[in-house]
Amino acid sequence: MRMRDLTRSTPLRLAGAFALVFVLLTVGVFGFVYVATTQAWIAELRTVFADEAEKAASSDEDRLRRSLSLRLTRDFRRLNYVALYDPEGALVFGNLDRRPDIPVDGNAHLLEDFRAAPGSEPEPTLLVARKRPDGGVVLLGRSLDQVVALRRVLRQALSFAILPLAAFALGAGFFFARRMGARIREIDGAIGTIAQGDFRTRLPVRSGVEELDGVIVSVNGMLDEIERLLGQLAAVGDNIAHDLRTPIANVRALLEQALADAPRNERLRHPVQAALRQLDRAMTTIEAVLRISSIENERRHSAFRPLDLAALCTEIYEFFLPLAEAKGVAMSLVAPQPLHRQGDADLMREAIANLIDNALKFTPRGGAVRIEAGERDGRATIEVSDTGRGVPAAEAHDIFRRFARASNGAELPGGGLGLSIAETIAKLHHLELHVSDNAPGARFTLAERSPEQSAGCIN
């Protein structure tokens, strides 16, 4: 699978969506843990500080100083703030020269950008101030630097956890996208083969997805039934054609005998000759129908051999050249270099001959027929163009059906099966046969299918 197609595949998109949802959910979980943890911790500190401030405010000054000094002595990480101010606001004891601008209400207040001294780094701090009976103020505080540290740890843990897991999700999506893409291409290839008329092909099972395998089994069952019905329908037509050959041959023999026994009876001779011509036409049609059925049923890829399509066109051109000159039609060939492919030489010879015969039949005296064989964008292409009546645009797709004939050539001899035989052979070789306007006339093109359309039986 090409990288561009892989990046646009549904499994990889789902993996990307899953990775995104996973990242968002993980960020949400980490955020919830952080918020819940810090809020619970701060709430506990608020309660403890408010209780300690209340006890400190009611203590005598000497006892309060010993308590505050002990708090500072035990503060190895220097996270605590203590201060005792006189009624005029001057510092009596502690490590905060300037009293913070917070209400003296005995409640804990959170300052997000508190600076303990001018020039110090701001940090989130929890502070509580309470008034003493002598008019002084006792202040207790604690830096929440641990909250910042916890935030940093959670952020690092988040980055270390998210990136590998997201990469793993995308990698798994990439792997399954390639695997599923290969399965889908395999199924699509089988569908393409079936679409070309090979109803014996079945979709591969064992996709690894139980629901998909169930659908494939149902489709294969449907194809079994379609193949059976088409086989019965083809058998009916083939049997009718086979059964008609014998009585038609017998009737023709009787008419030839009658014509030989009455050579001078002009009244009988002309109707018998007309009947023989009609029988010959019927026999030709029957043989063509059986020929198409034989090609469709045999699917003889085992007869494929290396061949030169350009040399094949040259051979057929030389065969039809005397007929074209006798009719007064200028026929030309353009095949500058060999065109090597795999195929059945006899069948390809028949297909190209049918196209050339069709072009000569519909091209009047003074017209031209051109045969060209070469490569276009790496694809083998054979074109047979003429300056005849052309094909009406509305009938371009219908003329390849059995017994179908263009409305502007219905009076000409033929059973309407030559193009059908050519298309059947083209499908067997994984070629496309289509007609376009040559202005004037028609251009029939046999073109190799692209790699996306075919596995390339003729390559």
Whether 307 and 277 map to the same domain: the answer is no
| Single-letter amino acid, residue 440 | P
Tell whether 72 and 113 lie within a shared domain.
yes
DSSP-derived secondary structure letter, 224:
H
What span, in angstroms and rounded, lies between the C-alpha atoms of 55 and 69?
Answer: 15
Task: Give whole-number Cα distances, 86 to 50, 93, 256, in Å.
Answer: 20, 9, 144
Domain extent for 144: 10-149
Select from 249, 276, 297 the last residue of a domain.
Answer: 297
Using CA atoms, how far residue 39 sits from 144, 275, 357, 369, in Å, is: 11, 107, 92, 91
Angle at the Cα of 177 (from 171 to 179), degrees rounded to 5? 105
DSSP H helices, 363-417, are none
Retrieve residue 453's tokens.
Answer: 């359309």
**Domain co-membership, 26 together with 100:** yes
User: Is residue 192 a part of any domain in this protein?
Assistant: no
Is 156 part of any domain?
A: no
Residue 64 resides in a domain: yes
* Count of structural domains within the chain: 3
**Burial call 401-425: b when 16+ CB within 10 Å, e when fewer:** ebeebbeebeeeebbbbbbbbbbbb
User: If you average pLDDT over every residue of the chain, what do you get?
Assistant: 78
Give the Cα separation of 455 and 459 in Å (integer). Answer: 9
Task: Read off the pLDDT band of 168 (50, 70, 90).
Answer: confident
What would the pLDDT profile of 89-147 be if each residue is shown by its tens digit? 888 888 887 888 888 888 888 888 888 877 778 888 888 888 888 888 888 888 887 77
364 plus 342 within the same structural domain: yes
Query: What are 280-338's pLDDT values in tens digits?
Result: 666 666 666 666 666 655 555 556 788 999 999 999 999 999 999 999 999 999 988 99
pTM: 0.48
Q: Same domain for 217 and 293? A: yes
Strands 330-334 and 368-376: parallel
Residue 357 lies in a domain: yes
CATH of the domain at 390: 3.30.565.10
The identity of residue 326, as a single letter, is: A
- Positive or negative, the CA dihedral 409, 327, 316, 439 is negative
Give yes or no: residues 443 and 322 share one domain. yes
We report the CATH number of the domain holding residue 264 as 1.10.287
Say whether both 236 and 135 belong to one domain. no
**Bridge partner residues of 143 (DSSP):** 125
Helical residues (DSSP H) of 200-209, grouped into ranges: none
